Structure 1
Amino acid sequence: MPELPEVETTKRGIEPNIVNKTIQQVVIRQPKLRWPIPDAVNALSGQKVESVSRRGKYIGVHTKAGTLIIHLGMSGSLYFVDAGTPPLFHDHVDIEFSDSPIVMRYTDPRRFGAMLWQPGDWLEHELLKSLGPEPLTDAFHADYLYERAQGRKQAIKMFIMDSKVVVGVGNIYANEALFKAGIHPKRAAGKISRARLEAFVASIKEVLSAAIEQGGTTLKDFVGGDGKPGYFKQELAVYGRGGEKCISCSNELSEIRLGQRSTVYCNNCQT
């Protein structure tokens, strides 16, 4: 599933190709995604794209009429093709531009993604207004995380993946940041000291920043807005490496399921 670095990479990839371009029409071949694509999306016709932004794992394509909200789901991606290029089986939506020879195409084999519409402030959409702070901003810091964690018996890995606590720390990067901070993924969030949470916050920021620089992590489906895969997979210390040797101590990495998600860690380095 695309996580924050992959979504940010996609946002950066499509932005220079669509900002200040006028949308001619939206061609919807398959409206049944995670939620049905609303008819209101057709309000994009004739609108100029003013900007593109990201909130959590959502991409906003902003016009004066409103915002197209895109979520890539588990296997979705946006890419560009020349106008007139025949769609493939899983190519569900095209956004055509009146002043550009290229089409922005949305493909999604599993159809767990979404295209939604929000007039006015897109951050007031019901899916966005309760989200936690962005992890790469000053709003996400050790004092905030320590306060939110107080009294919580939930495993720290599941706690940090809660989008109401902080957005965008998905499974891959939660595994990696916990390893870098030396914190066992099953440790209760409320039992972790402020000093250790400070190291954890720093690790989250470092891991996410590095992944964005590498263009995200390609495991199976993900490609960025430029059609290229992400290369952070080569930097993964624990995720997907269960049973292999720890890069720090050569101990065999353990793999369990937490919240139905693969969780890999080192029993020696993470406590």
Structure 2
Amino acid sequence: LREERIDTVVNFAAESHNSLAVVDPTRFFRTNVLGTQTLLEASRAAGVTRFHHVSTCEVYGDLALDTDEVFTEESPYRPRTPYNASKAGADHAVRAYFETFGLPITITNCSNNYGPYQFPEKVLPLFTTNALDDEPLPMYASTQNKREWLHVLDHCSAIDLVLRKGVEGETYNVGSGIEATIEEIADLVLELTEKPQSLKTIVPDRPGHDRRYLLDATKIRDELAWEPSHGWRDGLAETVAWYTANRGWWEPLKKRAPVSEETAWR
């Protein structure tokens, strides 16, 4: 970092597939906790002027489906899976380097992202590419579990704002406020790809499957004037169109040995 005169580090690097975390939790703690600490130490030694850490809503745990509760920046950490716990550990390491060594840090906790170039293990590209190939869309038995969906470009604009205007040592939640169940996502993908409902397939739930996440993004909206610019249906339609036009990017990735959602943890 010092040789290249790097003054700002933005840490996106992480193992992030929850199903794989059930199979190999050690890999997640090694990468997400120790990997982050290694980068923090290198940044401290190089005297970087800002270390920004990209985290997740999942560190807060989950919310009941039948409530209006949301996660704020003050919500306690209650991770329920190895992935969630490894990201929580990374967040704590980042804060420790701020408090102990004065490393200038910021953290963002984001909701589920979607958009072009997302690895096909994630639910939206998985459903989209499977639909395009007339393959089943594997839905966990808890089809009404909800996620909050954030377009990747809206996420990037939030990070850019935090880098330019965010307060050192602060955490900012980044969420769109758009919620959708897994079944609603499957239905919309099938509609956009003009594929039949019969492709929807129920598979066993994975252990520790969180019910619902929803972030309160009031802080970043009020303090930094951030606003998402992508609507849900239009954003998803653009994403499906991108995967339809870019088979050459995702087909080789799907040929690698994937984690089977049906059998990975048995």
Relative contact order higher in (CA < 8 Å, ≥ 6 apart): 2
**How does the TM-score come out when normalised to structure 1?**
0.26
Q: Which has the higher helix share?
A: 2
**How does the TM-score come out when normalised to structure 2?**
0.27
